[in-house]
Copies of this chain bind each other. A is one copy, B any other.
Amino acid sequence: NEDSKDLTLFPLPPTSNPPTSVLEVDKKTPDAHVPRDPRLIRLTGVHPFNVEAPLSALYNEGFLTTPELFYVRNHGPVPLVEDEDIPTWEFTVEGLVENPITISLKELIEDYEQLTAPITLVCAGNRRKEQNVVRKTKGFSWGAAGVSTALWTGCLMSEVIRRAKPIRRARYVCMEGADKLPNGYYGTSVKLNWVMDPNRGIMLAHKMNGEMLRPDHGKPLRAVIPGQIGGRSVKWLKKLILTDQPSDNWYHIYDNRVLPTMVSPEESASNPSWWKDDRYAIYGLSTNSAIAYPAHEEQLCIVGAPQKYRVKGYAYGGDGRRVTRVEVSIDKGKTWRLSNIDYAEDRYREGYEQNLYGGSLDVPWRESSFCWCFWAIDIPVEELKGAKDILVRAMDESMNIQPRDLYWSVLGMMNNPWYRITISHENDYLRFEHPTQPALIPGGWMERVKKSGGNLMNGYWGERIDGVEPEAP
């Protein structure tokens, strides 16, 4: 019986403890107006603010992330927007439209249908530290926590664009934020075709988990582009410009691209045509997964341990594609075990037309998967004792599977090889190591292998193959 379903089965956000004071470290920066959570790991020094949560803390919050632990990618100073100025925050829809319009946030909320949807955002640089250990890229070192999920409230971007009446020649929607940077305001574009496609759910959001956006997340208005890299979800949104060409914004051209692997930093600098080839711009996320537990440097006492240990983590697909399986290996990929997957996103599909945070829950009719999922598998401790590592790989509904091999590129993005943690047996303990630690934090098996001369790109994580000696460095 449809009516008897409990409509509150879907996850609600974990308790948030919004930071109220500005951290000492931020006080001498342009962001001295932004209270922040001290647990966040800074990836680019003090400023600009680019952070991820410790992986365990992120995972422990569950399917939805609090705004204070949600990853942040800022290119420069956070625009200061006073609360009293929020209703009159204006943005424009211009360019190849018949009817250019200026809309205030107040109008956006009053005149357009509001909806709420859970959407995972992922930085294209998620897991980049692994690439940086192999060979330094131009990007800073994300660990595996450059991914977070929230309930976003706002309207469909297509609705405002429809009112502006795009002309036939319009093919792209360029977005521009209020964050002024050395190379102009941050901006990028997506295809108009995608924006107008209801299945893609591209939003203009003003709430995150039911509260007004916080400064680091785009207060008071941002784009949210589900299934695509975070860099397309422009924060502090001021302009939508319809064009017949992709954005010519500096950040659109010189960021968020995966050049072919053989293009060196020198070649990319001396030959700008690499950056102008639109095929190398990235939009949809690639399939990815990571292990949250065992955590890095977790130790499992095998004396009196329970029979089984639960290995668990997250996975996500791109462009709305569902993760259809997550497989785990403890014998270097010779054999794989099927993990259980919890698709928390699916539980919102039951909440048809329910209102949440002032928007209707816009999930039930959708057939796309725009959120991460959590996977878990119990492995007998006896078997872990005999294993050297744990590997995980996810596959999406188009059979896109995470590969064994890391794809290095000059900007270091979309890193998604099998996630591997190593197991070492020390006295009565199993000790686990993740591949890396974020930012400049030392640790992880990759640094260790590299230091000892292993070739991390040899298809076997720089280690020996079944009793034979490793290749010389």
- Closest chain-B Cβ to A383's Cβ sits at a distance in Å of 15
Please, what's the 1-or-0 string for A435-473, where 1 marks a CB less than 8 Å from any CB in chain B? 000000000000000000000011110000111110100
- Closest chain-B Cβ to A280's Cβ sits at a distance in Å of 7
Question: A284-B398, A404-B459, A460-B459 known; A193 and B367 CB under 8 Å?
Answer: yes
Instruction: State which of B193, B279, B395, B467 has its C-beta within 8 Å of the C-beta of A325.
Output: B279
Instruction: State which of B282, B367, B468 has its C-beta within 8 Å of the C-beta of A469.
Output: B468
Q: Say if the beta carbon of A68 comes within 8 Å of chain B.
A: no
Establish whether residues A399 and B286, one from each chain, have CB atoms under 8 Å apart when the complex forms.
yes
What chain B residues lie within 8 Å of A279 (beta carbons)? 322, 324-325, 397
Establish whether residues B397 and A414, one from each chain, have CB atoms under 8 Å apart when the complex forms.
no
Please, what's the 1-or-0 string for A271-304, where 1 marks a CB less than 8 Å from any CB in chain B? 0000000011011111100000000000000000
Residues of A in contact, count (CB < 8 Å)? 52
What chain B residues lie within 8 Å of A155 (beta carbons)? none
Establish whether residues A407 and B401, one from each chain, have CB atoms under 8 Å apart when the complex forms.
yes
What chain B residues lie within 8 Å of A334 (beta carbons)? 457
Q: How far apart are the CA atoms of A322 and B282 in the complex, in Å? A: 12
Question: A322-B279, A336-B261, A459-B459 known; A286 and B400 CB under 8 Å?
Answer: yes
Please, what's the 1-or-0 string for A331-356, where 1 marks a CB less than 8 Å from any CB in chain B? 00111111000000000000000000
Q: Say if the beta carbon of A123 comes within 8 Å of chain B.
A: no
Q: Say if the beta carbon of A255 comes within 8 Å of chain B.
A: no
Instruction: State which of B199, B285, B319, B399 has its C-beta within 8 Å of the C-beta of A414.
Output: B399
- Closest chain-B Cβ to A193's Cβ sits at a distance in Å of 6
What chain B residues lie within 8 Å of A459 (beta carbons)? 333, 404, 459-460, 465
Question: A367-B193, A404-B459 known; A399 and B258 CB under 8 Å?
Answer: yes
Establish whether residues B261 and A319, one from each chain, have CB atoms under 8 Å apart when the complex forms.
no
What chain B residues lie within 8 Å of A403 (beta carbons)? 401, 403-405
What chain B residues lie within 8 Å of A466 (beta carbons)? 471
- Closest chain-B Cβ to A124's Cβ sits at a distance in Å of 9
Question: Chain B: which residue is nearest A282 at the CB level?
Answer: B399
Q: Say if the beta carbon of A118 comes within 8 Å of chain B.
A: no
Q: How far apart are the CA atoms of A284 and B399 in the complex, in Å? A: 8
Q: Say if the beta carbon of A38 comes within 8 Å of chain B.
A: no
Question: Chain B: which residue is nearest A229 at the CB level?
Answer: B399
What chain B residues lie within 8 Å of A262 (beta carbons)? 327, 335-338
Please, what's the 1-or-0 string for A393-420, where 1 marks a CB less than 8 Å from any CB in chain B? 0010111110111010000001010000
Q: Say if the beta carbon of A197 comes within 8 Å of chain B.
A: yes
Q: How far apart are the CA atoms of A283 and B403 in the complex, in Å? A: 20
- Closest chain-B Cβ to A406's Cβ sits at a distance in Å of 11
14 A-B pairs (CB sep. < 8 Å):
A191-B367, A193-B199, A193-B367, A197-B199, A260-B325, A262-B338, A280-B325, A284-B399, A285-B398, A318-B398, A403-B404, A459-B460, A465-B471, A468-B468
